[in-house]
Structure 1
Amino acid sequence: MGDLTRRAALAVGASAALAALSACATPVAVGETTTSTGPAPQPTMPDAPPPIAVEAGPPPAVPPQGAPSIAKVPAPSGTIDRLPGEGSLLAWTIDDGTDAAVIAAYAAFAAATGIRLTMFVTGTYFAWDENVGTLAPLIASGQVQLANHTWSHPDLTTLDDAGIADELQRTHDFIGESFGVDARPYFRPPFGFHDERVDAVAAGLGYTVPTLWYGSLSDSAELPPEKIVELANQWFLPQHIIIGHLNWKPVTTVFDQLRSIIVDRGLTTVTLNDVFSSQYHP
């Protein structure tokens, strides 16, 4: 698919066309003589109008998105991969956090545009510690939500019950101590791998909503920016939960294009807490 970009309407100036004027001569019959009284008077050429100045300025600014006004529904107990009902909402979620600069770039993008994000924290990465102050005002306002993506990103189905609990509890404690919020009830099992046993252990800690996705930017590994835009064109659709990653810089170079897709499609970004109510976030 081609990139969806905002197009500015440019004013087009009209050019003034001047008609060529010629003098009219009186026809002379053969054999007649004429008396010349001098050259025929020439018409006066009008002054050409001044050119119209056309300034092609930047595209009109799109105002930042405000907080959505939507009626919440109770958070389900069980797996979700999209938002409920029909509408024009988009849950843009982002995982991991290996690169502090990428986290900071997402935070700056959100602050400038009002885009709402849910970040799934992998607690072992120091990039989160480096961005506590950067993220704090966005988290306090509810524009950015933090959720649990385990401590060290293992396949939870390969761990015993104690190991599953430790992975979720350590990141739960880290988020609470560093950012002052409760990440429950949403956790994202690494690689999307979970089963009834994993879900039961997680639910015992208050993480009752395994959160998967319905479309991906596929940037857990490094991708060319144009591929990321292509995938956004494919998956940025109403009521989808989209997954991206806080690991590689190419996505930060196409934020404007990704936002244009959202704006052009009339989508409103939301956090999970915007859509669902729970005992932790009424």
Structure 2
Amino acid sequence: MTEIPRRTLLAYGGSAAALAALSACAPPVATGTPSAAPPPQAAPVLDRVPVPPGTIDSLPGDGSLLAWTVDDGTSTDVITAYAAFAQASGIRLTMFVTGTYIAWDESVDALVPLVASGQVQPANHTWSHPDLTSLPDAEVRDELVRTHDFIGELFGVDARPFFRPPYGYHDDRVDAIAADLGYTVPTLWYGSLADSAELPAATIVDLAREWFLPQHIVIGHLNWMPVTTVFEDLRAIIDERGLTTVTLNDVFTSEYHP
């Protein structure tokens, strides 16, 4: 990974150059506060499968896996509360990073040990959360490259091949640009906690009951505090249903994560 100053956009002269460069708060005290309960989940032992080309919105096959994914990152308090919850519970998460939000810099100490162990997987959610289909080619590339480099600098990992297009908006042109950079898997979802805006905590629990199901990829957000007050309720749903949380790298192999 090229050593770069934080939050500096590299200028790339073309797709080949871009690919070469790419290679190179206290948590709340309500019911969401992790309590001394079941021991943390160990990393699952799975027969991983090669990542498919193209869009995914669920996990392959039959089973009892749940990919709990969280996006954006406007709130340091929410990110660090998720990190504390993961540390206490063993819940495994894929975090889709929007690099422009300073909360990621402010949360790095809480996240680095979880990323290093593989319990939390950072993935690419662009730099500034635009509708990629509305941008010219060079700006689509910059949105992905800039956050790729930011994740590499902050956490020392390669975020490829998974990217989440903001609002789920992508098309063949966007996918081709992303794939040329190694982001071959637009990652959508099969169920949402719908908390990109602020929702009542009880509504989030109801949505988890609807969507925390086997082999689903479920989307939440790192933006608003209500979800952090019901972490224990969400974990109870997972436990009641016999689900095992996984990161995308737990399930899939790729050339970046063999």
Smaller-chain TM-score bracket: 0.7 to 0.9
Distance (Å, rounded) in 2 between the aligned partners of 1:101 and 1:64? 22
Choose from 159, 164, 168 the match for 1:183.
159
What's the counterpart of residue 66 of structure 1? 42
Q: Report how many aligned residue pairs link the two structures.
A: 224
SS of corresponding position for 1:128:
helix
TM-score, normalised on structure 2? 0.86
Quote how far apart the aligned CAs of 1:215 are. Answer: 0.1
Amino acid at match of 1:275: V
Distance (Å, rounded) in 2 between the aligned partners of 1:61 and 1:163? 47
CA offsets per residue over residues 106-158 of structure 1, 9 Å max, x none? 00000000000000000000000001111000000000000000000000000
Residues 1-282 of structure 1: pairs in structure 2 closer than 5 A: 61-282=37-258
Distance (Å, rounded) in 1 between the aligned partners of 2:43 and 2:51? 19
Bigger relative contact order, structure 1 or 2 (CA pairs below 8 A, ≥6 apart): 2
Unmatched runs of 5 consecutive residues or more in structure 1: 1-58
Change beyond 3 A, Cα 1:254–1:273: same
SS of corresponding position for 1:177:
helix
Quote how far apart the aligned CAs of 1:279 are. Answer: 0.5
CA offsets per residue over residues 43-76 of structure 1, 9 Å max, x none? xxxxxxxxxxxxxxxx993222111010100001
More helix as a share of residues: 2
CA offsets per residue over residues 160-183 of structure 1, 9 Å max, x none? 110100000000000001110000
Runs ≥4 residues deviating over 6 A: none
Quote how far apart the aligned CAs of 1:94 are. Answer: 0.2
Q: Which has the larger radius of gyration?
A: 1
Aligned sequence identity (%): 75
C-alpha RMSD of the superposition: 1.0
TM-score, normalised on structure 1? 0.79
Amino acid at match of 1:141: S
Amino acid at match of 1:267: L
Unmatched runs of 5 consecutive residues or more in structure 2: 1-34
What's the counterpart of residue 24 of structure 1? none
